[in-house]
A and B are shown apart, each in its own frame.
Chain A
Amino acid sequence: MSLLELKGVTKRFGGLVAVDHVDLVINEGERLGIVGTNGSGKTTLYNLISGVYTCDEGSILLEGLDITNMPAYKRAHLGLARSFQIPRPFGQITVRENVAIGALFGTLIGEIGEDEALEIGEYYLEKVGLYPKRNEIANALTPIEKKLMEVARALSMKPRLVLLDEAMAGMNPKDIDRIVEIINKIHEEEKISIVSMVEHIMRAVVNFAERVVVMNQGKKIADAPTQEALNDQKVIDVYLGRFALEEQNA
């Protein structure tokens, strides 16, 4: 059985079809990359999976369980974790408290207390390299540190599947590499499914994903192992040499 299955998932906003009958399967322990420009529908897709939006059509199954109409917070209890394009920390509380909240309300909800949650939080802060900053107020972190904190918070939820929004526009290659390295390492140790969503920064996708899904205008136009997808004619046509540009800058 697959971990997550989307069947014919559709979302409309007024006259605009943001996600158009998308089928998608995510397996246990996969490293999946979703690629698409702004307006391709990938952010909406993420919101549909995590439960921030409800589908107009289609269904979502988590290990066979129909979660199509389940509220977002309940999906979190079942093992879905997610980070945001622009980090959304709980700004006025400390880093370790931020991450601990993930632990308290993730899959371990009701089983652990404050202290255990803080321990779990600190473990993942260590993993992402933020342990030294654990007592700082979250708002004081740099943007990349905030991103890493969100990753740590998502991981503290002890999820089955992590949806990472890697929109890394404006980040320098060194930072991108750092994040990718951390995520790969975590995947190796935790054996959880990680989906990484990017616009078109190939560095992140190529070094991380086993499989790539390409979105364009709400539809899935490619779904194949990484190199195959990136060399797909349809994909190249859509991006029209943008890849070549990136390759040059890499």
Chain B
Amino acid sequence: MKGGKVKLVLIALVTACMVFPFSFSAMAALPGKVVIGGPISLSGKFAKEGQQSVWGIKAMEKWVNATLGGVKIKGKKIPVAYKYYDDESKKEVVTNLMERLITKDKVKFTLAPYSSGLTLAAAPIVEKYGVLYNSHGGASNRIFEQGFSFIVQTLSPASEYQTGPLEMIKKIDPSAKRVAFLFQDNEFARAVAKGAEAKAKKLGFKVVFNRTYPKSARDLTPVLTELKNAKADILIGGGHFADGQLLAKQLDDMGINLKLVSILVAPTLPNFYQALGTMAESYMAPGQWGIGAKYSPAAAKKEGIPYFGPTQKEFMKYFLKESKGVKPDYHGAEAAAAFLAYVKAIDAANSLDPKVVRKVMNKLHFMTFFGDWKIDPKTGMQIAHKMVVLQWQGKKLQIVWPPAAQTSKPFYPMLTIKQRKAGKLAIVK
């Protein structure tokens, strides 16, 4: 009898020893922290935007851990960590670093580098390893036409860049039907133009002028002479920093007065106002986001969707701490939002399996300080986030569209050249 009891105890002990470590490893299957990361440009031509992105993401890393304790999986809170390397704004470095992040650092939730070109460069690698990829700095539609199944987008795609002004005009002045397009001849601007043209058609605008100018053009007078004759109500166009500034300057030089002008990129920088002075008043530009955007829990409630992440004020606070006082621009905001999207999706999926999370993302529609977030299930493209329209009013950049985000009503129609020369400011009463 005694031997039998001992045998039983022994078997129980052995079984326990065998089961016990398994249950431990089942618990250890949940890592100590969830690493979200990616290559980002801290040197080279995208250094400025890359630095903004890093500050934004780091700010969110701290907010998530401080406020939420991290992500919540199966009832357990796991802190998040951000891992990044400098990609020097170079394609070859991006691909190397992405391989490293995935294979060595075992990152399953990756953030894309800054710019459409670099975003596209790393996409095949992510696809190869079956990990997630969130684009926060790559707006080109082409990225999402390649058939990748693991990439998602947080910022608005290129095709949506200049649709806001058209929607805005339709609402505040339906009689202004004559629209002119003048874009720089580069891949991104072409995607923007395509989207804008389609929207114009849909909303019933008359396209009276549609031209491009080459990247190297330093004198737009011939094409602007033609534009003058077209007698348009609104002008939508631009390309990059330098040519955008040039376009604005030469519109004034040639005496072309329009009711609304929305130019890509250039007017979003303080240098635009510094270069043009009060001639810059009432110029508009699309932006992914602007300081003071009115996205908030209340606004989300109005739309009937949940709000996630810090408020505008909280974001500002955390960002300024990371940047040591440098104000955020939309580069920082969109990167932060991408990080938040991951946290929200992981929470919703209650899993760290990229496939599962990706599937859950298809059902999500929420708002952050950056705006709405909802993706197209097939391509992963962002379909709910709206570009804001920014306008120079009284030496400050105000958000004038969409209504959910606006900090000031739009100043319409634009101040004439004469008025701006006289120093009049575009302040909405």
- A and B touch in their complex, CB below 8 angstroms: no
